[in-house]
Amino acid sequence: MTEPRASVTLDTHFPAIHLRPPANWVNDPNGLAFHDGHYHVYFQYNPHGARHADMHWGHFRSPDLIHWELLPVALAPTPGGDDEDGVWSGNAVSYDGRLTAFYSARRPDRRHQPVTSAVSYDGGTTFTKRGRLLIPEAPDGTTMFRDPYVWRDGDRWRMLVGAALADGRGAAVEYTSDDLDHWSYKGLFLARTPHPLPDGRNTEEGWECAQYATFPDGTGAVLASAWDPKDGASCAIYWPGREEGGEFRADERPRLLDHGPDFYAPALVRAPDGRWLMWAWIWEARDEERVGAPSTWTDAAGWAGMLSLPREIEPGPDGELIQRPARELLALRGESRLAAAGKASAERPVDVGEVARAADLAVTLERGGRLRLLTSPDETEYLDVVHHSVTGELVVDRDNASLDSRAKGGIWSLPPEGPNATLWILLDHSVAEIFTASGRTLTVRFYPVGDGPWRVQMGATGVASAAYTVEGWDLAPPEKRYASS
Residue 84: burial class (beta carbons within 10 Å; 0-12, 13-18, 19+): middle
Residue 422: burial class (beta carbons within 10 Å; 0-12, 13-18, 19+): middle
Whether the CB-CB separation of 401 and 429 falls below 8 Å is answered with no
DSSP one-letter string for 400-442: TS-SSTTS---EEEE---SSEEEEEEEEESSEEEEEETTS-EE
Could you tell me if residue 111 is left (phi over 0), alpha (psi between -120 and 50 degrees) or otherwise beta? alpha
Q: What pLDDT sits at residue 485?
A: 45
State how far the Cα of 294 lies from the Cα of 296, in Å rounded to an integer: 7
State how far the Cα of 368 lies from the Cα of 466, in Å rounded to an integer: 6
Q: What pLDDT sits at residue 246?
A: 77
Compute the mean pLDDT over every residue in the chain, rounded to the nearest whole number: 95
pLDDT digits (tens, 9 = 90+) for 236-262: 999 999 999 878 999 999 999 999 999
Whether the CB-CB separation of 361 and 349 falls below 8 Å is answered with no
DSSP one-letter string for 116-145: EEEEESSSSSS-EE-SS-SB-SPPTTEEEE
- Sorted by sequence, the CB contacts under 8 Å of residue 273 that are 6+ apart come out as none
∠ CA 54-56-57, nearest 5°, is: 160
pLDDT digits (tens, 9 = 90+) for 2-54: 344 444 657 999 999 999 999 999 999 999 999 999 999 999 999 999 999 99
Beta 382-387 vs 394-397: how paired, if at all? antiparallel
DSSP 181: S
Model pTM score: 0.96
Q: What pLDDT sits at residue 111?
A: 87
∠ CA 275-277-281, nearest 5°, is: 175
pLDDT digits (tens, 9 = 90+) for 57-83: 999 999 999 999 999 999 999 999 999
Whether the CB-CB separation of 161 and 145 falls below 8 Å is answered with yes
Query: How far, in Å, are 158, 275, 308 from residue 313 at the CA level?
Result: 21, 8, 14
Residue 126: burial class (beta carbons within 10 Å; 0-12, 13-18, 19+): middle
Q: What average pLDDT does the segment 89-112 reach?
A: 96
pLDDT digits (tens, 9 = 90+) for 191-224: 999 999 988 999 999 999 999 999 999 999 999 9
H-type helices in 251-341, by residue range? 296-301
State how far the Cα of 258 lies from the Cα of 78, in Å rounded to an integer: 35
State how far the Cα of 42 lies from the Cα of 100, in Å rounded to an integer: 12
User: Confidence band (pLDDT; 50, 70, 90) for 478?
Assistant: confident
Q: Which residues are 156's β-sheet partners?
A: 153
Q: Which residues are 212's β-sheet partners?
A: 222
